A and B are shown apart, each in its own frame.
Chain A
């Protein structure tokens, strides 16, 4: 899933200067699962904003909404009756959701409440780690399912660097060396021969270097 963190509260308050009526819009997708932009977080942020403004004797009215996903146009229509009534929208979706909202409601200022950080998963409740960098060309077949692009600090493709010590990365003793994990796993699977295959230079055009990406399922195009 996409992991995001809430922006510092002061930064959000600064965006809202001058507004008297806003909507705080949550997203029921990834950011609900990673506890940053779902129904509960909308209510928490709205309470905080109202109290902060009340304290300054500058009250603000907030409409609290959460839709299924902000990255799908069909769900964005659910708030079309509310948008004309507000001066601005605070989106608690990831960057993709904010973009979709901005495109759908072009005449209303849209402010992001989150910083979108990475694609990952939860090791345990409330603890999220990066596992994919969306490079666009998975090499996981060669590496036992452990990604060297996302998990090696240097994104090395053919074995560890000299900074790998006791299975840990030189950037931080708490960060696992991805290549140690890969080699341990290949060894367990008796697939060490795959380590012998030299991986060629990465074609970064499938990453962001080729410009904004898209994926089209032709059978769905009408």
Chain B
């Protein structure tokens, strides 16, 4: 059986993680193609709705990447975002998903290697957890189509 390839949504702040992803590309760093990046003006733009909808639409894992603490372009957007992610972990746990499928990471725009490392580690984490019970149908549909 082919190895499970998770679908991962990464909500990335324009001022840090998105730049880090760009840098990772410029540096020709390899990271898994499972990550779907969604650019946000700030990680503080994230609400629990964003995160739940990502899981609902078939994501096996979701993470939010914001600036290093104290470095937010909008002063405290990343400090607002982190507790929201922790709150959303409880929400997905109520539904029956593992809270480990959701995470918050801090990084700066200069941390291209860190972006690639987070992408690799998170993909591996989700691979070990297996497909999300919500997304199973999406995967089985894909298999049938294949």
Which residues of A does B touch, CB under 8 Å? Answer: 9-10, 40, 43-44, 47-48, 50-52, 54-55
Q: How far is the CA of A88 from the CA of B137 in the complex (A)?
A: 27
Our pick among A9, A10, A44, A55 for the contact of B134 (Cβ within 8 Å) is A55
B49 within 8 A of A: yes
Tell me whether A44 and B95 are in contact (CB under 8 A): no
In the bound complex, CA of A187 to CA of B123 (Å): 63
Known: A47-B56, A48-B91. A55 touches B47 (CB 8 A): no
Contact: B49 with A55, CB < 8 Å?
no
Known: A9-B94, A40-B47, A44-B91. A51 touches B137 (CB 8 A): no
In the complex, chain A residues whose CB is within 8 Å of the CB of B133: 55
User: Are A54 and B52 in contact, CB atoms less than 8 angstroms apart?
Assistant: no
- CA of A48 to CA of B88, assembled, Å: 11
- How far does the alpha carbon of A54 sit from the alpha carbon of B135 in the complex, in Å? 9
With contacts A43-B49, A44-B48, A44-B91 taken as known, whether A50 is within 8 angstroms of B96 at the C-beta atoms is no
**Closest chain B residue to A52 by CB distance?**
B95
> Inside 8 A of B97's CB, which chain A residues have their CB?
51
Given A47-B53, A51-B55, A51-B134, 11 other A-B residues pairs in contact with their CB atoms under 8 A: A9-B94, A9-B95, A43-B52, A47-B52, A47-B56, A51-B92, A51-B95, A51-B96, A52-B95, A54-B56, A55-B96
Is chain B's interface secondary structure helix, strand, loop, or mixed overall? helix
Measured CA separation A104–B56 after assembly (Å): 33
- A63 shortest CB reach to chain B, Å: 16
User: With A9-B94, A44-B91 in contact, do A51 and B56 touch (Cβ < 8 Å)?
Assistant: yes
Give Cα A54 to B96, complex, Å.
11
The reply to whether B56 and A50 contact each other, CB–CB distance below 8 Å, is: yes
Given known A-B contacts A44-B91, A47-B56, A52 and B49 have beta carbons under 8 A apart: no
The interface residues of chain A lying within 8 Å CB-to-CB of B134 are 51, 54-55
What are the residues of chain A within 8 A of B53 when measuring CB–CB?
Answer: 43, 47
A59 to chain B, nearest CB (A): 9
CA gap between A55 and B96 in the complex, in Å: 8
Task: Report which of B47, B91, B94, B137 forms a contact with A54, defined as CB distance below 8 A.
Answer: B137
A9 to B49: give the CA distance in the assembly, Å: 16
Q: Which residue of A lies closest to B49 (CB)?
A: A43
Q: Which residues of B contact A51 (CB under 8 A)?
A: 52, 55-56, 92, 95-97, 134
Q: Name the A residues within 8 Å of B94 (CB-CB).
A: 9-10, 48, 52
Which A residue sits closest to B47, measured CB to CB? A40
In the complex, the answer to whether A52 meets B56 with C-beta atoms within 8 Å is no
In B81-105, the 8 Å CB interface with A consists of 91-92, 94-97
**Are the C-beta atoms of A48 and B52 separated by less than 8 Å?**
yes
Decide: B49 and A44 in contact? CB cutoff 8 A: yes
> Which one of A10, A48, A52 has the highest number of Cβ atoms from chain B below 10 Å of its Cβ?
A48
A156 to chain B, nearest CB (A): 38
Docked Cα-Cα span, A2 to B105, in Å, equals 36
What's the least CB distance linking A99 to chain B, in Å? Answer: 27
Q: Which residues of B contact A52 (CB under 8 A)?
A: 94-96
Report the bound CA distance from A50 to B97 in whole Å: 13
A51 to B92, CA, bound (A): 9
